[in-house]
Structure 1
Amino acid sequence: MANDQNPIGSRFLAPISESIWDMKYRLKGPDGTPLDVTVEDTWRRVARALASVEAQPEVWEPRFQAALDGFRFLPAGRIVAGAGTGRSVTLFNCFVMGTIQDSMAGIFDALKEAALTMQAGGGIGYDFSTLRPRGAEVKGVGADASGPLSFMDVWDAMCRTIMSAGSRRGAMMAVLRCDHPDIEDFVTAKQDPARLRMFNVSVLVTDPFMEAVRSDGDWDLVFGGRVYRTIRARDLWDRIMRSTYDFAEPGVIFIDRINRENNLRYAETIAATNPCGEQPLPPYGACLLGSVNLSRLVRDPFGPGAQLDEGDLRDLVAVAVRMMDDVVDLSRFPLPQQAEEARTKRRIGLGVTGLADALMMVGLRYGSEEAADWTRATMRQVARAAYLASVDLAKEKGPFPLFDAEKYLASGTMSRMDKDVREAVRAHGIRNALLTSIAPTGTISLYAGNVSSGIEPVFATAYTRKVLMPDGSRREEEVVDHAVALWRRLRGAAPLPDHVVTAQDLTPMDHVRMQAAAQEWVDSSISKTINVPADIPFEEFRDVYQAAWDGGCKGCTTYRPNAVTGSVLSVAEAPKPEPKAEDPPMERPEELEGATYKLRWPGSEHAMYITVNDIVVDGRRRPFEVFINSKNMEHYAWTVALTRMISAVFRRGGEVAFVVDELKAVFDPRGGAWMGGKYVPSILAAIGIEIEKHLKHTGFLDSAASLVEPQGTATPVVRTGKFDDAGWEETPAQDAVAAPPGMACPSCGSYEVRVQEGCLSCATCGFSRCG
């Protein structure tokens, strides 16, 4: 019997868990009336829906519900939110889209498919390596190609437009091969603070490239059989590393290793991943995700007999595999090609969460050799149980349609799988071509009692969360890591054991060691962020990626806090709270500091002048009012209305950065315009961009989505100074108030924002950049 860690009288392990359930997973009617009265109703709804595709649903529904009970098995949020609701939704988390054909028709067909998938809430990955480089000849039209980056801008605008229509947030991943002629521009593209904000970007790194880096060899940049130019491999590698060091992107994906290790290498070629990298998928590939909560399977936690209940783990994994296989048949799909891909291969991504908490409970320090060995052994148990369960399903329901015994056994994970598992597969086939993955679990881990996410370390043992009450007031509540909360219940105020560590205590190689240990028995990949200190030397930072390659990882994502990316690893005292929602609007001082920006919309006869004035509150400069002036009288009414509304929002205080996002998301059906090499979907979006420039310059915006100006560009501020009834007095730009420490959540304003599992997420409200 594994440990019973529920607080008496509640199925939720922490107050934040109930909040997350109510916001994200609880079924409600059109008027907001809860239809899931309790979390048991949610578990029952999901279990009944998944069991409905079984031949004996009455047998499997209670077993499925038992697996969900106590947050032991955590299907991905899309399954919990969508299964059994009667809504026509996809229960799959991630997709890689079809190969983009290098023609205008092919490009926009692919864009349409992406829009339909994102509208359904799916995160998507794309390989843009098939598009000819910038400057290449386009035969028959007498023009030169604009290159893949220009079309990525179009995808970016599409994603922003879909989001502005109220769709569930879905992330995008763009990858480009390391030998594409535009790779150098791709590596530095996101250094432009207004470009590709809807994308994560990664470089597809090949084995020959890594060999050229190691030997300091030359590297050809090639497209269509033509060598465009030859560069030094180490120069490109250092460019990738330097951009990642300074801007946290791009990541790297070891694509040849992924294909070599793929169980289905005889039936597919992988060229891209989903947005967080844990699912390398072929064209139109789709995968669903779920996690076994290891923190719920430890017997005698913190005691002398503390250990993982391996029998309970095997039983839970077997039920979880069946549940996820049933999702393949239950789910809808945005595109018929995705449905065909899912049902002919029946790929699932079963992983774990709560690993760091489980290590804490059994007395092991995260990142140590002993913890890595324990992780490797645990993931081997998960893999064995999952593969054997899938064999049992094949006996009952048949193997996946593309199964070929000899080819399957000779490829990927199967080549090193235990003999008894290989013999079982040979004799009976297997239901699911691939079975294991470590997915981002930030939100479902909060829902499960603030357990540590995936295989990430504990970020903080505790933090303070501000909760908005119905009367508009705010109260503070402590959010405690699940294992730490259990320690307190068992040991009271006794100090935490020495082996308890957080992300701030670890070296980069501790992270690499844990990722490599888990990867050995994961047949897909792992979503993980290797957090590194801000002062790590560049040479040492570069060595982290080499260590990930040498350790057998399939990719690597790092995060180094700095003035550009934001100091999300800081655990220092949070900035003073913003004015409360119930406070009256701020009074206007006699004089304000501000800046004026000139905006000329393409095709317009007159320029607009946008002035943003600021006020200083608690030592922090924040926007107070906006004025928009134009000689074009057709603009007069709407610009006056717009400035009054924006100024009213600014004067209320609180988190106001959403104004920028809303403006930038406005799509003009008559068409946008290209400005400075970027597509802007409307004149309102252009105004939003100018306001955003101001908020960045003053330090009000400080987030991963709000980077400093790219190197080599001029400052956006036209003039700064004080404006009052006497007129304007110029002041130097450097007199602006410095930016506050940390990073604010764009959804709730909390400073509990983290980069984990390759994803920016908020520990207070569950907001995630990754869906």
Structure 2
Amino acid sequence: MKVETNFAPELQALSQSLLLEKYAQQGESSVAAIQARVAKALASDEHQERRFQETMRLGFVPAGRINRGAGADLAVTLLNCFVQPVADTISGHIDGQPGIFEALREAAETMRRGGGVGYDFSGIRPAGARVFGTASDASGPLSYMRVFDKMCETVNSAGNRRGAQMGVLRIDHPDIERFVDAKKLPDLAALGLDERSSELVLGLLRDQPAFAWAFRGAFATLSNFNLSVAVTDEFMRAVESDDDFDLVHSAPPSHECATKVLADGRTVYVYRTVKAKVLWEQIMTNTYDGAEPGVVFIDRINWDNNLRAVETISAVNPCGEQGLPAYGCCDLGSMHLSRFVREPFTGEAAFDYPGFRRAVAGAVEMLDRVLDVSRWPLPEQQSQARSKRRIGVGYFAMGDALAMLGLRYGSEASVAFVDRVGREMRDAAYEASVELARKFGAFPLFAAEEFLAEGTFASRLPARIKDMIREHGIRNSHLLSLAPTGTIALTFGDNASSGIEPIYALSQVRSVRQKDGSRVESTVFNAAYRAAQNALGPKVDPTAFPTVADLTVDDHLAVIAAAAPLIDAGISKTVNVPANYPFADFAGVYLRAWKAGLKGITTYRENNVLLGSVIAAGSLPAAAPPVTQSMVPQESGAYSAMERRCPSCNAMTLVKKAGCDGCDCGYSACDVS
């Protein structure tokens, strides 16, 4: 019996059109067809191919680049993002790191093959530093970032995808204030507008989202970058105690200044000394008004790193969920949590942990294979990836799954669920990686005592898993990452909530960028809400589906605090803040995040005037467009298919309402009921 897992009839119009545009190859019109291609491309034999298909049918969704490129006749990479080094020289290399314009070339090559790029620009000497070779003064990192910004705007990324970039600068870099203000929108009065004219412009920005986007792109420099400040523990302690803070660099300035020796033994020049609280308030003000820059707690990232003995991380990928070394990559995929909820919207609703663990194990195997079959934009990226074999299994539809289970996002019960899911995913992933190491060997740079040294993420694993690692090694240095998953949640999940986020709104108006740069608005409904209407009828209580508008800052922080200790890489999570949230409380969110040991934090305070939202809450009609079978796979044959649990192997399996075709394990479908 040929069974096709075809979700196409159930997807909303926008989800279906984007699925085909972003991921389908010629002749493909369904999720099932994409999954079949991906499984065949990644597998080394037919048995593994069937395992990969089952893994995706259970609920694993590889990241976008894998779905787009695996098995396709395209010269693209299967990795979503990379971190690229940039050295303090115009050309050539310093200590093996490429100079600015060589780094620009490498980034362009990476981007045109489909990969986003993150950079640490801290090595570039500050504006005003002495350039002895030409007897001139340096222009600073921001001037070169503008060159990278224009490159990103010019180079088309593979597969109908805009180029993505993350720019990082250390908090102690002498140009940090300029960096923090780099995407600050202009003061309309400073542009020569009187109060009445300013109000007219603000009204246009408020009422015309397309104009708001164009306005931001025209006036905000570095519009093709996300920006994050790499904040150190030393700086945060100085903020707490209201101390002075030195801005330093290894390159000498054009003026006389003092030097100091850092903890790592390097001698640096002290360009200026500032009040830590004043600099912190500048960061907070820009973030409060314009959502950038984000903050990454770089010391926490490095201390927690399983490979801290052999690498130092100074930058993150464009969405911030992966701190990576030079030439490191994001090899990602996410579990669709809604697919593991049994008897949703009822008093018997439960999460299928055995099925979840089985899918996680399959996901680890799939992502490990990606590293062997992917095309690589640069040989340095391939070398880095295969020496450490970093992967990132995560999840999406957390908000949907909680609603299906009757749990309010941010409640004690939801926090307990997030913790349980995280532990199950962590343990299943690490156990699966050990099993792969038994078959194929540990990653080349593996050293048990360094990997399990006090403070690393691996040192906090259960004792039995640490014993397994000591005995057999482990295939992958890192295994877990919670990415934003916006597009795969919209397409493969029919607009499920993304990543670890709550449901944004039950009805959403999405601004979709077209190939010509214009934007078209489309309305879509939340997947869990549609599923509830299908199961319970049109009179579903919307209050059973808490959205961003219903949640407090504490709700967001409670969920991320529960998830973070169980993720070895990082989490992309936005803390939504009401427009009227007091500034002092807003700044306190970041202090709380640092004290809680988070690796970073991003906030968004509603401000459509200046930002131009990609998603906005829409109005809710009496009934959302129903689905026919609530994401249950459909058979391509004479009979409809149903999902049942196999009593032999405990897998969820597709069986006919008639006939004796059964589970992959060999159990007869006649007995599966």
Distance 1:509 1:19 in 2: 36
2:485 corresponds to: 441
* Matching residue within 75, 87, 90 for 1:100: 87
Deviations 1:610-663 (A, max 9, x none): xxxxxxxxxxxxxxxxxxxxxxxxxxxxxxxxxxxxxxxxxxxxxxxxxxxxxx
Change (3 A) 1:186 1:465: closer
* Matching residue within 112, 126, 142 for 1:149: 142
Distance 2:284 2:531 in 1: 41
* Matching residue within 197, 215, 239 for 2:223: 197
One-letter identity of the residue aligned with 1:260 = W
* Matching residue within 405, 408, 411 for 1:368: 411
Q: CA deviation at 1:83?
A: 0.4
Distance 2:536 2:461 in 1: 42
* Matching residue within 409, 419, 426 for 2:470: 426
Deviations 1:518-562 (A, max 9, x none): 111000011111111111111111111112112221111111122
Distance 1:275 1:10 in 2: 30
Q: Structure 1 unaligned segments of length 5 or more: list them.
A: 1-5, 29-34, 468-474, 575-771
The answer to whether the Cα contact below 8 Å between 1:504 and 1:569 also exists between their aligned partners in 2 is no
Counterpart check, 1:514 vs 2:559: yes
Larger radius of gyration: 1
Distance 2:511 2:227 in 1: 33
Q: CA deviation at 1:497?
A: 6.7
One-letter identity of the residue aligned with 1:341 = Q
Corresponding residue SS for 1:198:
coil
Counterpart check, 1:454 vs 2:499: yes
* Matching residue within 424, 448, 462 for 1:405: 448
Aligned pairs for 1:698-709 within 5 A: none
Q: CA deviation at 1:311?
A: 0.2
Q: CA deviation at 1:40?
A: 2.1
454-463 or 491-500, larger mean C-alpha shift: 491-500
The answer to whether the Cα contact below 8 Å between 1:102 and 1:130 also exists between their aligned partners in 2 is no
Aligned pairs for 1:307-346 within 5 A: 307-346=350-389
Corresponding residue SS for 2:226:
strand
* Matching residue within 2, 19, 22 for 1:21: 19
Q: CA deviation at 1:39?
A: 3.1
Distance 2:164 2:481 in 1: 18
1:677 corresponds to: none
Change (3 A) 1:83 1:559: same
Q: CA deviation at 1:362?
A: 1.1
Q: TM-score, normalised by structure 2?
A: 0.79
Aligned pairs for 1:670-709 within 5 A: none
Q: Structure 2 unaligned segments of length 5 or more: list them.
A: 93-98, 186-218, 251-267, 513-519, 621-673
Q: CA deviation at 1:99?
A: 3.9
Q: CA deviation at 1:569?
A: 7.2
Counterpart check, 1:243 vs 2:294: no
Change (3 A) 1:154 1:355: same
2:459 corresponds to: 415
Deviations 1:183-202 (A, max 9, x none): 01110011152411111111
Corresponding residue SS for 1:190:
coil
The answer to whether the Cα contact below 8 Å between 2:8 and 2:16 also exists between their aligned partners in 1 is no
Change (3 A) 1:573 1:567: farther
One-letter identity of the residue aligned with 1:548 = A
CA RMSD of aligned residues (A): 2.3
Aligned pairs for 1:491-502 within 5 A: 491-496=536-541, 498-502=543-547
1:112 corresponds to: 105
Counterpart check, 1:526 vs 2:571: yes
One-letter identity of the residue aligned with 2:335 = V
1:551 corresponds to: 596
Change (3 A) 1:465 1:142: closer
* Matching residue within 49, 55, 61 for 1:61: 49
The answer to whether the Cα contact below 8 Å between 2:21 and 2:160 also exists between their aligned partners in 1 is no
Distance 1:201 1:37 in 2: 37
1:751 corresponds to: none
Distance 2:597 2:585 in 1: 19
Distance 1:307 1:488 in 2: 19
Change (3 A) 1:82 1:569: closer
Paired positions, count: 551
Deviations 1:38-96 (A, max 9, x none): 43222111100010xx3xx11111111122226x1110111011100122210000100
2:316 corresponds to: 273
Counterpart check, 1:171 vs 2:169: no
Q: CA deviation at 1:12?
A: 3.8
Corresponding residue SS for 2:425:
helix
Distance 2:414 2:564 in 1: 14
One-letter identity of the residue aligned with 2:551 = L
Q: CA deviation at 1:565?
A: 2.3
Corresponding residue SS for 1:95:
strand
The answer to whether the Cα contact below 8 Å between 2:484 and 2:499 also exists between their aligned partners in 1 is yes
One-letter identity of the residue aligned with 2:550 = D
Distance 1:346 1:216 in 2: 42
Change (3 A) 1:534 1:476: closer
Deviations 1:326-384 (A, max 9, x none): 00001011110000001000000110011111111111100122211210111111010
Corresponding residue SS for 2:181:
helix
Distance 1:438 1:476 in 2: 28
15-24 or 428-437, larger mean C-alpha shift: 15-24
Q: Taking every aligned residue pair, what percent have the same amino acid on both sides?
A: 52
Distance 1:420 1:166 in 2: 43
Q: CA deviation at 1:566?
A: 3.9
The answer to whether the Cα contact below 8 Å between 1:94 and 1:286 also exists between their aligned partners in 2 is yes
Change (3 A) 1:388 1:165: closer
Corresponding residue SS for 2:580:
coil
Greater RCO, CA 8 A, separation 6+ = 2
Deviations 1:462-521 (A, max 9, x none): 246899xxxxxxx99963211111211221133427442001111122112211211110
One-letter identity of the residue aligned with 2:466 = R
Change (3 A) 1:388 1:199: same
One-letter identity of the residue aligned with 1:66 = E
Change (3 A) 1:48 1:167: closer
1:673 corresponds to: none
One-letter identity of the residue aligned with 1:80 = N
Change (3 A) 1:37 1:484: closer
1:306 corresponds to: 349
* Matching residue within 54, 66, 71 for 1:79: 66
Distance 1:476 1:184 in 2: 36
1:472 corresponds to: none
Corresponding residue SS for 1:364:
coil
2:296 corresponds to: 253
Change (3 A) 1:165 1:462: closer
The answer to whether the Cα contact below 8 Å between 2:344 and 2:350 also exists between their aligned partners in 1 is yes
Change (3 A) 1:273 1:15: same
Q: CA deviation at 1:567?
A: 6.0
The answer to whether the Cα contact below 8 Å between 2:171 and 2:230 also exists between their aligned partners in 1 is yes
Counterpart check, 1:538 vs 2:526: no
The answer to whether the Cα contact below 8 Å between 1:218 and 1:233 also exists between their aligned partners in 2 is yes
Aligned pairs for 1:588-627 within 5 A: none
1:484 corresponds to: 529
Q: CA deviation at 1:24?
A: 1.2
Change (3 A) 1:118 1:509: same
One-letter identity of the residue aligned with 1:418 = P
Q: CA deviation at 1:290?
A: 0.2
Change (3 A) 1:256 1:165: closer
Change (3 A) 1:466 1:134: closer
The answer to whether the Cα contact below 8 Å between 2:335 and 2:393 also exists between their aligned partners in 1 is yes
